[in-house]
Amino acid sequence: MAKSILTYTTKNDLNRRIRQMQSDHTLLTNGEILYVGKILEDIGNYCGVSADAIDKIKMHINQPSLPLAMKIAEYFKCRPNEIFKLMPIRCTHCTTEWDGESRETTQRLICGECKQVFEP
């Protein structure tokens, strides 16, 4: 069975939440700096994964599994959909939503509207 390609992806706001944690910590501790690496390590420890795994999710390199997304949300005391949002894959040339059909390869898609090749 051929692997299907989804017509959507997810975006997350982990970077914003981590920066907010840094800012809040600095205000509460009279200027003590909380480094991003430490926050990533804390989130990773809480979720049972490495800091690098969390960093790759934050940078949109990897997508978390549903259980991991739920655990990350639990760490931030919020719901998963407050951190992770479903977004349609759009052509980078004309911004039309990708139809899920036309593709050159699994990583190179073809826009049904403008016929340009793009990478999601």
pLDDT at 105: 75
Residue 65 within any structural domain of the chain: yes
pLDDT at 98: 85
pLDDT at 91: 87
pLDDT at 3: 62
Residue 64 within any structural domain of the chain: yes
Residue 28 within any structural domain of the chain: yes
Residue 96 within any structural domain of the chain: no
What range defines the domain where residue 38 resides?
Answer: 13-82
pLDDT at 46: 98
Q: Residue 112's closest CA among 7, 120, 101, 104?
A: 101
Extract long-range pairs of 97-106: CB within 8 Å, 24+ residues apart: 97/7, 98/7, 99/7, 100/5, 100/6, 100/7, 103/5, 106/3, 106/5
Segments in 1-120 forming alpha helices (H): 14-28, 36-47, 51-58, 66-75, 80-83
pLDDT at 1: 44
pLDDT at 106: 72
Question: Based on the structure, what is the number of domains in the chain?
Answer: 1
Residue 57 sits in a domain whose CATH number is 1.10.260.40
Q: How far apart are the first and last CA of the chain?
A: 23
Question: DSSP character for 114?
Answer: T
Residue 5 within any structural domain of the chain: no
Residue 6 within any structural domain of the chain: no
For the chain of 120 residues, list the mean pLDDT of each consecutive stretch of 10.
Answer: 73 96 93 94 98 96 95 97 93 87 80 84
